Amino acid sequence: MTIQQTIGFQVKQLANQLNRVAQQQISQAGLIEIPESQQWVLSYLYDHQTKEIFQSDLQQALGFGKSTISELLARMQKNDLIRLKQSAKDHRRKQVLLTTTSLQKAAIVNQSISAVEKRLTNGLTNNRLTELFQLIQQLKQNLKNINSNKE
């Protein structure tokens, strides 16, 4: 087996190509100043505007560690992309919300993600996409099992 025949190499090549296309799309939208991880947060918050979203929700949904998401949210708050509001249901927790200025940016990020996703999945049936997601989940689980066996 050559390096080009490994899943890791192919996934990395796909990720690099996807990143280039996504950066081009974001650049055309004029949002180049917002890092990719912040774009993911904006998109998630935009998609879940009707729910109370907390730091822990973002951690779980986006796969970030606690300190990483804390630092990310602090930067986003400093840049007026998000605001924190005390939860109406649990006063110990703070809800993460889009600001009025970031709402439009989040909409543009979502449109860009949709455009790239449409190009990426062109020609794939729903069955093939479902199978792809199942395969990706299995690969992630396999890697998780490797890490948990080392502990």
Name the domain count of the chain.
Answer: 1
146 Cβ contact list (under 8 Å, min separation 6): none
pLDDT given for residue 24 in this prediction: 87
pLDDT tens per residue across all 151 residues of the chain: 899 899 999 999 999 999 888 888 888 877 778 888 999 999 999 999 999 999 999 999 999 999 999 999 999 999 999 999 998 888 889 999 999 989 999 999 899 889 999 999 999 999 999 999 999 999 999 998 886 666 5
In a domain, 148, yes or no: no
Residue 27 lies in a domain: yes
Name the residue range of residue 57's domain.
12-120
Structure tokens that stand for 29 in this block: 């939208």
pTM of the shown model? 0.82
Query: Is residue 116 domain-resident?
Result: yes
108 domain residue, yes or no: yes
Q: Is residue 107 part of a domain?
A: yes
In a domain, residue 140? The reply is: no
Q: What is the per-residue burial (b if ≥16 Cβ within 10 Å, else e) of 125-139? A: eeeeeeeeeeeeeee
5 lies in a domain? no
Q: What is the CATH number of the domain that holds 104?
A: 1.10.10.10
Residue 4 lies in a domain: no
